[in-house]
Structure 1
Amino acid sequence: MAIVVALAGSPSAKSRSSGLLKRGIELLVESGVTVQQFSLTDFVAEDLIYGRFDSPAVQAFNNAVKHADGLLIASPVYKAAYSGGLKTLIDLLPEHGLAGKVALNLATGGSAAFTLSLDHALLPVLNSLKIKFQVGGVFATDRDVAWQVDGSFHVAPDTEERLRLAINSFVSYLPHPLSAELAPGRLVEQIRQGRISV
């Protein structure tokens, strides 16, 4: 069974990016994927800032990534890039720590103008760690996603569809996927929306 490490790049469990990650995890689980979750709050800030590779939490994270088939990463966009806290954690991965793995990146921000921030900021970092393949990405504005008063997380229908397409594509690159479907009648539209490479 495929294993994915899901990483929340926001220090808040109630951030929009954490909510989008939560929905992505739900879709992965529905597809039969085992998910191991991590958040910046799992780590001591000083361990990340001072690059303490021997930190038990950092070692546990690196070990989980080593044995995973893929990574699902979510981050808020600050100043046109992913969060600094996420960068400090990624910096503690081994030099070839992502070799042979697949990644899907999720991000949220105040404006659609930052849609390409994942490609321009995060992708080069993952490439430097020898990521095998990145399955596009999903960006949502603050209007697309929101936590509700009852504690549920709302995802706008078009964003939900883009997320489903991206997750389906992501799962298709993992070992022995149980569910990865592309509707033949809508293949061109799905490729456009999900940024799927064929």
Structure 2
Amino acid sequence: MATVLSVSGSPSATSRTARLLRHLDARLTAQGHHVIPLDARTLPAEALLGADTSHPEVVRAAALFHQADGVVIGTPVYKAAYSGLLKSLLDLLPQYALADKTVLPLATGGSTAHALAVDYALRPVLSSMGALHIVPGWFVLDRHITVREDGTTAVEPGTEAILGRLVDQFSAALRPVPAPALAAAG
């Protein structure tokens, strides 16, 4: 199947956004995809803020984007937009880092007042980075994501059903990136 990069743009170590992504990663893995989680908060702040594209961790992150067939991008919404942390990461990637990729944008937040952030803030930047196909994204209210006593994540049933359909649509749209053609030996 395909390789999926699952990117959390949350600066929080106890992020609902990251929990939601890891929850959805399990569904993608069950469908046979190889899922690689990337929490932007683990990248060095000095590299992100200093726009150091040569920092080994930034180079590694860029390579993960390059190798992925599809990318799930999740972010908390702050001030009606995606997180500054995610912005810093995306700014360090090559202009067309999402070329030939299928992308699923997701956002979390405390109020439905921010529901349009996926379409009006996140989708345009993903499109400008050359995404081949951006499946419909979704905004999830924080209160619809909970942590069970056993530490697993639960999503409100109605939201879970919608996200399941979106993840399935994303999964169906994935196309493995072809390996570079080998030059004929001569």
**Structure 1 residue 11: Cα displacement:** 2.0
Instruction: Please tell me whether the aligned partners of residues 28 and 171 of structure 2 are also in contact (alpha carbons under 8 angstroms).
Output: yes
Q: Which residue of 2 aligns with 1:30?
A: 30
**Structure 1 residue 54: Cα displacement:** 0.3
User: What is the TM-score of this pair, normalised by structure 1?
Assistant: 0.85
Give, in whole Å, the separation in 1 of the partners of 2:114 and 2:98: 25
Instruction: Please tell me whether the aligned partners of residues 6 and 21 of structure 2 are also in contact (alpha carbons under 8 angstroms).
Output: yes
Give, in whole Å, the separation in 1 of the partners of 2:113 and 2:6: 25
Aligned pairs for 1:1-198 (under 5 A) are 1-175=1-175
Give, in whole Å, the separation in 1 of the partners of 2:149 and 2:46: 34
Instruction: Please tell me whether the aligned partners of residues 22 and 37 of structure 2 are also in contact (alpha carbons under 8 angstroms).
Output: no
Tell me, what secondary structure is at the counterpart of 2:75? strand
User: What is the TM-score of this pair, normalised by structure 2?
Assistant: 0.90
**Structure 1 residue 97: Cα displacement:** 1.1
Instruction: Please tell me whether the aligned partners of residues 9 and 76 of structure 1 are also in contact (alpha carbons under 8 angstroms).
Output: yes
Give, in whole Å, the separation in 2 of the partners of 1:170 and 1:13: 27
AA aligned to 1:93 is L
Could you give the per-residue CA deviations for residues 115-140 of structure 1, whole angstroms, max 9, x where no partner exists? 11011001111111111111111211
AA aligned to 2:24 is G
AA aligned to 2:127 is N
**Structure 1 residue 64: Cα displacement:** 1.2
Give, in whole Å, the separation in 2 of the partners of 1:8 and 1:125: 16
- Structure 1 stretches of 4+ moved >4 Å: none
**Structure 1 residue 150: Cα displacement:** 3.5
Could you give the per-residue CA deviations for residues 57-114 of structure 1, whole angstroms, max 9, x where no partner exists? 1111111111111100111111111110000000011011111111001111111121
Unpaired runs of 5+ residues, structure 1, are 177-198
**Structure 1 residue 149: Cα displacement:** 4.2
**Structure 1 residue 147: Cα displacement:** 2.2
**Matched-pair identity in %:** 41
**Structure 1 residue 37: Cα displacement:** 1.1
Instruction: Please tell me whether the aligned partners of residues 9 and 75 of structure 1 are also in contact (alpha carbons under 8 angstroms).
Output: yes
RMSD over aligned Cα, in angstroms? 1.2
Unpaired runs of 5+ residues, structure 2, are 177-186
Instruction: Please tell me whether the aligned partners of residues 42 and 57 of structure 1 are also in contact (alpha carbons under 8 angstroms).
Output: no
AA aligned to 1:51 is A
Instruction: Please tell me whether the aligned partners of residues 20 and 106 of structure 1 are also in contact (alpha carbons under 8 angstroms).
Output: no
Give, in whole Å, the separation in 1 of the partners of 2:70 and 2:22: 16
Paired residues, number: 176
AA aligned to 2:105 is N
